[in-house]
A and B are shown apart, each in its own frame.
Chain A
Amino acid sequence: GENVEQHPSTLSVQEGDSAVIKCTYSDSASNYFPWYKQELGKGPQLIIDIRSNVGEKKDQRIAVTLNKTAKHFSLHITETQPEDSAVYFCAASKNTGFQKLVFGTGTRLLVSP
Protein backbone atom coordinates (compact mmCIF):
# COMPACT_ATOMS: atom_id res chain seq x y z
CA GLY A 1 0.00 0.00 0.00
CA GLU A 2 0.86 3.66 -0.14
CA ASN A 3 3.30 5.13 2.38
CA VAL A 4 3.77 8.88 2.79
CA GLU A 5 6.74 10.40 4.60
CA GLN A 6 6.82 14.05 5.61
CA HIS A 7 9.72 16.29 6.67
CA PRO A 8 10.51 18.17 8.76
CA SER A 9 8.40 17.31 11.78
CA THR A 10 8.84 20.84 13.14
CA LEU A 11 9.77 24.06 11.38
CA SER A 12 10.38 27.44 12.97
CA VAL A 13 10.67 30.56 10.82
CA GLN A 14 10.60 34.30 11.29
CA GLU A 15 7.66 36.26 10.00
CA GLY A 16 8.20 37.14 6.37
CA ASP A 17 10.46 34.16 5.66
CA SER A 18 9.51 31.30 3.37
CA ALA A 19 8.68 27.80 4.62
CA VAL A 20 8.99 24.56 2.69
CA ILE A 21 7.56 21.19 3.72
CA LYS A 22 8.42 18.07 1.77
CA CYS A 23 6.66 14.74 1.30
CA THR A 24 7.58 11.55 -0.50
CA TYR A 25 5.21 8.78 -1.53
CA SER A 26 5.80 5.18 -2.47
CA ASP A 27 2.99 4.21 -4.86
CA SER A 28 3.71 5.47 -8.38
CA ALA A 29 0.00 5.06 -9.20
CA SER A 30 -0.96 7.83 -6.76
CA ASN A 31 -2.26 10.84 -8.65
CA TYR A 32 -3.86 13.15 -6.11
CA PHE A 33 -1.89 15.11 -3.49
CA PRO A 34 -3.71 17.43 -1.09
CA TRP A 35 -2.35 19.52 1.76
CA TYR A 36 -4.25 20.15 4.98
CA LYS A 37 -3.77 22.78 7.67
CA GLN A 38 -4.76 21.97 11.24
CA GLU A 39 -4.97 24.90 13.62
CA LEU A 40 -4.93 24.39 17.36
CA GLY A 41 -8.17 22.83 18.57
CA LYS A 42 -9.60 22.42 15.08
CA GLY A 43 -9.92 19.73 12.45
CA PRO A 44 -7.69 19.60 9.36
CA GLN A 45 -8.75 21.86 6.52
CA LEU A 46 -7.87 21.44 2.85
CA ILE A 47 -5.73 24.38 1.71
CA ILE A 48 -4.41 23.30 -1.69
CA ASP A 49 -4.15 20.18 -3.81
CA ILE A 50 -2.44 19.04 -6.97
CA ARG A 51 -3.09 16.27 -9.43
CA SER A 52 -0.46 14.33 -11.28
CA ASN A 53 -1.09 16.02 -14.63
CA VAL A 54 0.45 19.30 -13.40
CA GLY A 55 3.81 20.09 -11.88
CA GLU A 56 2.97 23.20 -9.88
CA LYS A 57 -0.05 25.02 -8.50
CA LYS A 58 -0.23 28.38 -6.73
CA ASP A 59 -2.83 30.08 -4.60
CA GLN A 60 -1.71 33.46 -3.30
CA ARG A 61 1.13 32.82 -0.81
CA ILE A 62 1.01 29.04 -1.00
CA ALA A 63 2.20 26.77 -3.78
CA VAL A 64 2.63 23.05 -4.25
CA THR A 65 5.12 21.36 -6.56
CA LEU A 66 5.11 17.77 -7.72
CA ASN A 67 7.95 15.66 -9.07
CA LYS A 68 6.41 12.41 -10.29
CA THR A 69 9.72 10.89 -11.28
CA ALA A 70 11.17 11.31 -7.83
CA LYS A 71 7.77 10.70 -6.17
CA HIS A 72 7.89 13.75 -4.00
CA PHE A 73 5.82 16.88 -3.57
CA SER A 74 6.32 20.03 -1.55
CA LEU A 75 4.35 22.85 0.03
CA HIS A 76 5.82 26.34 -0.22
CA ILE A 77 4.57 29.22 1.89
CA THR A 78 5.99 32.64 1.12
CA GLU A 79 5.92 35.77 3.29
CA THR A 80 4.87 33.73 6.31
CA GLN A 81 2.62 35.30 8.93
CA PRO A 82 1.96 34.29 12.55
CA GLU A 83 -1.47 33.01 11.52
CA ASP A 84 0.27 30.44 9.31
CA SER A 85 1.37 28.68 12.51
CA ALA A 86 -0.33 25.28 12.50
CA VAL A 87 0.27 21.61 11.77
CA TYR A 88 0.39 20.84 8.05
CA PHE A 89 -0.37 17.41 6.60
CA CYS A 90 0.33 16.11 3.14
CA ALA A 91 -1.58 13.16 1.73
CA ALA A 92 -1.62 10.97 -1.36
CA SER A 93 -4.16 8.76 -3.07
CA LYS A 94 -5.12 7.25 -6.40
CA ASN A 95 -8.05 9.65 -6.58
CA THR A 96 -10.46 6.94 -5.54
CA GLY A 97 -12.09 8.82 -2.74
CA PHE A 98 -11.29 10.60 0.49
CA GLN A 99 -11.22 7.39 2.50
CA LYS A 100 -8.27 6.20 0.42
CA LEU A 101 -6.08 9.18 1.33
CA VAL A 102 -2.89 8.24 3.15
CA PHE A 103 -1.69 11.07 5.35
CA GLY A 104 1.85 12.11 6.19
CA THR A 105 2.93 12.46 9.79
CA GLY A 106 2.49 16.23 9.94
CA THR A 107 4.77 19.27 10.24
CA ARG A 108 4.34 21.74 13.05
CA LEU A 109 5.09 25.20 11.62
CA LEU A 110 5.79 28.03 14.03
CA VAL A 111 6.04 31.55 12.64
CA SER A 112 7.55 34.00 15.10
CA PRO A 113 6.73 37.72 14.84
Chain B
Amino acid sequence: DTAVSQTPKYLVTQMGNDKSIKCEQNLGHDTMYWYKQDSKKFLKIMFSYNNKELIINETVPNRFSPKSPDKAHLNLHINSLELGDSAVYFCASSQGTLNTEAFFGQGTRLTVV
Protein backbone atom coordinates (compact mmCIF):
# COMPACT_ATOMS: atom_id res chain seq x y z
CA ASP B 1 0.00 0.00 0.00
CA THR B 2 1.32 3.41 -0.98
CA ALA B 3 1.30 5.70 2.05
CA VAL B 4 1.19 9.01 0.15
CA SER B 5 -0.02 8.79 -3.42
CA GLN B 6 -0.20 11.51 -6.04
CA THR B 7 -1.92 11.57 -9.40
CA PRO B 8 -0.97 12.01 -12.11
CA LYS B 9 2.73 11.12 -12.05
CA TYR B 10 3.37 13.05 -15.25
CA LEU B 11 1.44 16.01 -16.61
CA VAL B 12 2.22 17.80 -19.87
CA THR B 13 0.03 20.76 -20.74
CA GLN B 14 0.00 23.98 -22.68
CA MET B 15 0.46 27.48 -21.32
CA GLY B 16 -2.76 29.06 -20.13
CA ASN B 17 -4.45 25.79 -19.21
CA ASP B 18 -5.84 24.92 -15.77
CA LYS B 19 -4.80 21.65 -14.17
CA SER B 20 -5.12 19.79 -10.88
CA ILE B 21 -2.89 17.39 -8.99
CA LYS B 22 -4.41 15.09 -6.41
CA CYS B 23 -2.86 13.72 -3.24
CA GLU B 24 -4.11 11.13 -0.79
CA GLN B 25 -2.49 9.67 2.31
CA ASN B 26 -3.57 6.54 4.19
CA LEU B 27 -1.35 7.09 7.22
CA GLY B 28 -4.02 8.75 9.34
CA HIS B 29 -1.97 11.95 9.46
CA ASP B 30 -3.63 15.29 10.06
CA THR B 31 -1.10 17.56 8.34
CA MET B 32 -0.35 17.66 4.64
CA TYR B 33 1.98 19.73 2.49
CA TRP B 34 2.78 20.71 -1.06
CA TYR B 35 6.40 21.20 -2.09
CA LYS B 36 7.86 22.38 -5.37
CA GLN B 37 11.17 20.99 -6.65
CA ASP B 38 12.70 23.02 -9.45
CA SER B 39 15.04 21.87 -12.20
CA LYS B 40 18.02 22.28 -9.87
CA LYS B 41 16.40 19.93 -7.32
CA PHE B 42 15.75 22.75 -4.85
CA LEU B 43 12.86 21.83 -2.53
CA LYS B 44 10.61 24.62 -1.29
CA ILE B 45 7.41 24.44 0.71
CA MET B 46 4.32 25.95 -0.87
CA PHE B 47 1.42 25.13 1.44
CA SER B 48 0.69 23.33 4.67
CA TYR B 49 -2.72 22.16 5.88
CA ASN B 50 -3.64 20.89 9.33
CA ASN B 51 -7.04 19.27 9.82
CA LYS B 52 -8.20 20.77 6.51
CA GLU B 53 -7.17 24.28 7.57
CA LEU B 54 -4.48 26.26 5.76
CA ILE B 55 -1.62 27.03 8.13
CA ILE B 56 1.21 27.96 5.77
CA ASN B 57 0.99 29.78 2.49
CA GLU B 58 4.44 30.73 1.27
CA THR B 59 4.98 33.31 -1.41
CA VAL B 60 3.10 31.46 -4.09
CA PRO B 61 1.12 33.10 -6.94
CA ASN B 62 -2.60 33.05 -6.31
CA ARG B 63 -2.95 31.00 -9.48
CA PHE B 64 -2.13 28.10 -7.14
CA SER B 65 -5.07 27.09 -4.97
CA PRO B 66 -4.87 24.12 -2.62
CA LYS B 67 -8.01 22.38 -1.44
CA SER B 68 -8.37 19.88 1.37
CA PRO B 69 -11.77 18.16 1.30
CA ASP B 70 -10.76 16.02 4.30
CA LYS B 71 -7.68 15.21 6.35
CA ALA B 72 -6.59 12.46 3.98
CA HIS B 73 -6.64 14.55 0.81
CA LEU B 74 -4.89 17.69 -0.36
CA ASN B 75 -5.31 18.70 -3.97
CA LEU B 76 -3.49 21.43 -5.87
CA HIS B 77 -5.23 23.39 -8.59
CA ILE B 78 -3.21 25.63 -10.87
CA ASN B 79 -4.85 28.24 -13.12
CA SER B 80 -3.40 29.86 -16.22
CA LEU B 81 -0.29 27.70 -16.27
CA GLU B 82 3.02 29.39 -17.16
CA LEU B 83 6.30 27.98 -18.42
CA GLY B 84 7.91 28.72 -15.06
CA ASP B 85 5.46 26.39 -13.33
CA SER B 86 7.28 23.42 -14.83
CA ALA B 87 8.69 21.47 -11.90
CA VAL B 88 8.12 18.37 -9.81
CA TYR B 89 5.44 18.85 -7.19
CA PHE B 90 5.55 16.71 -4.06
CA CYS B 91 2.82 16.08 -1.58
CA ALA B 92 3.80 15.06 1.95
CA SER B 93 2.07 14.31 5.23
CA SER B 94 2.94 14.19 8.91
CA GLN B 95 1.18 13.71 12.22
CA GLY B 96 0.80 17.10 13.84
CA THR B 97 2.34 20.42 12.96
CA LEU B 98 5.25 20.00 15.36
CA ASN B 99 6.34 16.62 14.05
CA THR B 100 9.56 16.89 12.10
CA GLU B 101 9.18 13.65 10.17
CA ALA B 102 7.03 13.57 7.08
CA PHE B 103 6.40 11.12 4.27
CA PHE B 104 6.57 12.24 0.67
CA GLY B 105 4.59 11.08 -2.32
CA GLN B 106 6.40 10.04 -5.49
CA GLY B 107 5.94 13.44 -7.11
CA THR B 108 4.13 14.84 -10.14
CA ARG B 109 6.34 16.08 -12.95
CA LEU B 110 4.53 19.03 -14.53
CA THR B 111 5.77 20.24 -17.90
CA VAL B 112 4.22 23.37 -19.38
CA VAL B 113 4.83 23.82 -23.10
Contacts and interface: CB of A to CB of B under 8 A. Distances in A.
B90 A43 contact: yes
Nearest to B88: A43
B68 interface: no
B60 interface: no
B48 interface: yes
A105 B100 contact: no
A42 B106 contact: yes
A44 B101 CA distance: 11
Contacts of B94: 97-98
A32 B104 contact: no
B33 A98 contact: yes
Contact of B97 (A32, A89, A99, A101): A99
Given A43-B4, A43-B92, A105-B40, A93 B100 contact: yes
Nearest to A89: B43
Interface in B42-86: 42-45, 48, 55-56
Contact of B41 (A32, A98, A99, A105): A105
A97 B97 contact: yes
Size class of the contact patch on chain B? 20 to 34
A28 interface: no
A12 interface: no
A105 B92 CA distance: 19
Size class of the contact patch on chain A? 20 to 34
Contacts of A108: 41
Q: Which of A38, A45, A89 has the most CB of B within 10 A?
A: A38
Contacts of A23: none
A99 B99 CA distance: 9
Interface of B: 4, 31, 33, 40-45, 48, 55-56, 90, 92, 94, 96-107
Q: What 3 pairs across the A-B complex have the smallest Cβ distances?
A: A43-B104, A106-B41, A99-B48
Given A42-B107, A106-B42, 11 more contacts: A34-B101, A42-B104, A43-B92, A45-B103, A45-B104, A99-B31, A99-B33, A99-B45, A103-B42, A105-B40, A105-B42
